Amino acid sequence: MEGEDTLFGKLATWVVRLVERRPWAIVAVSLAFLVGSVWLATGLRVDDDLKVLLPPDAESIARLEALKARMGNQSDLVVVVESPSREANLAFGAAIAERLEARDDIRFVVFRRDRTFFEDNLLLYLGLPDLLDLRQRVKQRIQEEVRNELSLGFDDDEDEAPEGAATGKAAETDDPLDMGEDQLRERYGIDERMPEYFEAEEGRVVVVTARPTIGTTDVSFARKLVAGVEADIAAAGPASFHPEMSVRLEGAYPNRLGNISTIAGDAARGGAAAAVLLVLCLWFYFGRLRAVPLVMIPLVTSVVAALAYAALRYGFLNLVSAFIFAVLLGMGIDFGIHILGRYENERRRGFERPEAMRIALGTTGASTSAGAFSTIGVYLCLMVAEFQGFAQFGELAAVGVLLALVGVIVVLPAVTTVVERWRPWKPLRRDQARAAATPPPRVRRFRYPARTMAVAAVVAVVGLGTAGYAALHLDRVEFEYDFSKLGPEKAPGDQDADNEAAAWKDAVGKETTLSPVVALTENREQTEATHRLLADLAAMTEEQAAQIEAIRAAAEAGVPYLLPSEVAARAEQAADGGEAGAAAGAERQDVIDSDAGGGIAPEARFEALGRSAAGVGGLSHETLERLSPLSADRIRLMQRSLAQVFSIFSFVPDRQQDKLLVIRDIRSRIERKRGALSKETQDRLDETFHYLEVDEPVGVEDLPQWITQQFRDEQGHVDRFVLFRNHGSKADYAVAKEVQVGFFDLPTSAGVVPTSGNVYVMPEVMDTVKADGPLVVALAVGVVMLTAIVMFQSVSGFLAVVVTVMLSVLWLLGLMILLGWKANFFNIIAVPLLLGMGQDYAIHIYHRYESEGPGRLRRVLRETGGAVFMTTLTTVFGFGGILFANHRGLLSLGWISVLGLVLCFIGAVAMLPALLVLRDGIAARLSHAEAGDPEEP
């Protein structure tokens, strides 16, 4: 009997005997296995974090773990309050802040920032150039008042600011003093630097930020937190504060829950849609409703069991494997279609149930198993990848395919036996004529008609030609490095959400909403050194960064250096007579200072401070010293990238002893000349003289608690890290890679400081994919070749399978070039997947063709080709489930897979038969036995 003497034929005989004896026991065990798998799979979650796509020992992940251990959670929950009334918003903000502070799952809350400490030490927080500018203005006002009193006769029109006085905001007013409180705040941007509340749109938007105890990676905690805070908001009664008040949650926690919900919902809808389409396909193809449970019971059992395995092994699905349910449905159903299709063919030919099942398992089961193990091998190749998107998908797909194969070999025959004992199988009317037809006799040689040969030649030429074109233009296949183009597609209504987000981000400062990078320091000295280094880079202008080599050379030579813009400004000033005015001012200074008396530091000292603050090319010598370990190119990169630096030393002024010297000098001048000042000037000075009473430097221990709590790490230190943020979209590989190159390790005067941040995950993911991709594809091709050799043990069979698969993949790449589709780290996984599926199709066609013989090509294409068409359609529906995702990366995977499957089908039922016709037709003619070879009917 057919296939009985083969190894797989003997296995099929054993399986059929077992199934005939214990069908109900096998079905019962299968259903119990399904129930247990469903129970385990319910604990599976989707994790959309890019961090899970890298192995735990990846450098960026290891540093993130160190960051987590050092600092705990750094994500904030944001409460956004909106109404027309600022007073109502602030009142509700205070009420909800009090409720949040009482929660055990909140570390601290920031609402009102008490600025008393900073107002008392205001002048220490000015830059040294600003403070020297203020001193110069005080001197100038005193000079004017004393001059008027002494009637020195100077012409007011000649009063010019001495050389070195600040320009910009300071030059916008005619009053050379501007020492009133409002003027000081406006001139030096004090309110802009530290507003009392987080608010925007003139108080119509007020924000409260809270730092939870646990990060967003704990989804269960995030859900409880969001639900609890929403309950607190409802209990506080926003409407009681203002009838138009609206309150919502923003930030990392609601965003994370929304993303997970979207992906899980898309996956569920995609899986459900795929299942419905598969059921309809089965019903249509077999023409019997009974075919649905025969195929779907073992299939669903195997797929759910694979999800249960995922729950036990990982506990989550990543972005790439999130749609594994739909994919496994599409791939696993192939086995059932092939086996059940062959079984029904044998039943139509008159065989009873046991013998028909034995033939189906012994013949089609062999090719099905070969294709399955080849596909498993391809998926196992994915597991060697460091990129966990490949590794997890490959592992789960391999397990799922193996379970599907076991199900179709054991469970499907058992379910078929149970169903047929209840309701015996009868051939459909449409099948009776087909069953009665006598196939052409099997022959060793077969001479195909010239017309068939011509068609085959055309198909082969077109197929090989298009593949050749693709092979010659593979360099035109581009890779998408901007992850923002692979995320969710914005819906039309998302613009309103963007506008709302812009308002609250304006309130807290847009820079603070950027994902931060953290420098992990070991002590206070290292923290200050790191902060000063980064602050210098952030304060540097683009022109200074561009001229850094010239500035360094001038500093080493000890000569002055003017930036091109300064040269132009001085030339313009000279043309306007500025030098004469400066000289006159200097002359007046000499006259006034002659009456200064004791208690005032020599003017030369302040001139030295001014030169020190101005430095070389606007960079102080301290700054140049801190930047010395960095190359010029790296300085330009870092200056261009840095947006904000934030640490405990953001609140500890630099050069405090120099600033205190200037403050004491200003205070002494005012006290000595107070009697000579006008009443108006004295009154204005009385309002702000308390600013000049500061006489001690500010240290970390002096800072208010609402500041230090933001910097307290898990060990209680407040001086062990520096936060910084960078410009640009971190979803863009080029931007993220630039941050990685510039900031991964920071050389400071206190040692090299490592940094950590989510921004480093993207470039490492992309670099890992680029490294893993060629290896995985090469291994997958090796599996395809090895399977073909083992399966057919002939050069002809090897070439038939390998050539068909390679042509299909090349066609796909060619179409990607023509359509302008880019590869990305989502859809690149389709290449090894299509290698496995394409080989499976080719194996079925070639194996059946070799079994039937050359004269039965039409029968092969009608029966096995029909099954291959059906498996292609069902697999397309399986991958089509991905098309329900609102995620452009996953959509690209879906479309590439669907198109690739169609091309694999074309390769198996068109290209492969054409090559076989040409091979056998040419061989028949060369055998010189044309007269005895029958023509194809």
Among the residue ranges 6-15, 81-90, 475-484, 749-758, the one predicted with the least confidence is 6-15
Band (pLDDT 50/70/90 cuts) for residue 149 is: low
Among the residue ranges 232-241, 547-556, 905-914, the one predicted with the least confidence is 547-556
Band (pLDDT 50/70/90 cuts) for residue 5 is: low
Q: How many other C-beta atoms can be found within 10 angstroms of the C-beta atom of residue 433?
A: 8
Over the stretch 248-268, which tens digit does the pLDDT of each residue have? 999 889 988 887 787 777 777
Alpha-carbon gap, residue 130 to 635, rounded angstroms? 25
Over the stretch 73-94, which tens digit does the pLDDT of each residue have? 878 899 999 999 999 999 999 9
User: Please, what is the average pLDDT of the chain?
Assistant: 82
Band (pLDDT 50/70/90 cuts) for residue 826 is: confident
For residue 224, the model assigns a pLDDT of: 93
At residue 740, does pLDDT exceed 90?
yes
Percent of the chain exceeding pLDDT 90 equals 29
Band (pLDDT 50/70/90 cuts) for residue 228 is: very high
Average pLDDT over residues 496-509: 63
User: Helix 888-906 crosses helix 830-852 at what angle (to 10 degrees)?
Assistant: 20
Identify the CA nearest to 853 among candidates 308, 242, 463, 444.
Answer: 444
At residue 581, does pLDDT exceed 60?
no
Higher pLDDT: 268 or 294? It is: 294
Question: For residue 511, what are its two tokens?
Answer: 């820079």
Phi and psi angles of residue 109, each rounded to the nearest 5 degrees, phi first: -130, 140
Strands 316-317 and 246-251, by their bridges, are unpaired
Band (pLDDT 50/70/90 cuts) for residue 25 is: very high
Average pLDDT over residues 712-729: 88
Q: Which helix (H) or strand (E) holds 552?
A: helix 548-557
Percent of the chain exceeding pLDDT 70 equals 85
Among the residue ranges 308-312, 380-384, 933-937, the one predicted with the least confidence is 933-937
Over the stretch 525-568, which tens digit does the pLDDT of each residue have? 999 999 999 999 998 999 889 888 888 888 888 777 777 777 77
Alpha-carbon gap, residue 371 to 339, rounded angstroms? 13
For residue 80, the model assigns a pLDDT of: 93
Alpha-carbon gap, residue 793 to 800, rounded angstroms? 12
At residue 157, does pLDDT exceed 80?
no
Contact 509, 725 (CB under 8 A): no
